[in-house]
Chain A
């Protein structure tokens, strides 16, 4: 089975800090995605990547950036964390654009 691992389950950061959320998949998947999930708003796509060093903006990229230096790792970066970025962050991967997603267990980020 594909495994998608997110480095932290819970994270508390201060306003203004630079925050890195890491995601690693072990099945050589081409595509990787970052979503955030908020009550009443569902899952919203932040960024995605179809290949190493490639990135595409999703629906809500403002305040975030990403890095994909290696195929298996997709990092989400909050350049200067703000309280409105308190959320559940979910990483997913898929082998192709016509295949299903596998999600990691999520990182619950609190910005204080």
Chain B
């Protein structure tokens, strides 16, 4: 099956710092989605981004499907950004998830 790798696995930031999370995938995909899992376990959809660039406030994402990677940018990080960020890719009938990047933002 398709491999989805996320880096870094763990990240600690000072509040206000910027960061880039990466998702590499091993095969062509139809779709890609970024999620944030909050400390209570809820997975919140951030971006549905099979290709191109999208922005939502302090967050933006870019997917380069031909090179099989996606990037999630977090600017001016806040403590509420803490949690695990997952990338998921769709090969046609289901999404496959990466193992996530655990982000901790300290005040």
Contacts and interface: CB of A to CB of B under 8 A. Distances in A.
A47 to B, nearest CB: 11
A74 interface: no
Interface residues of A, number: 22
A101 B33 contact: yes
B41 A105 contact: yes
Given A48-B93, A100-B31, A100-B45, 6 more contacts: A33-B94, A42-B98, A88-B41, A98-B31, A100-B48, A101-B33
Interface in A53-75: 56, 58
A23 B4 CA distance: 27
Contacts, number: 50
Interface of B: 30-31, 33, 35, 40-45, 48, 86, 88, 90, 92-95, 97-100
Contacts of A77: none
A51 B28 CA distance: 26
A95 to B, nearest CB: 11
Contacts of B35: 103
A105 B88 contact: no
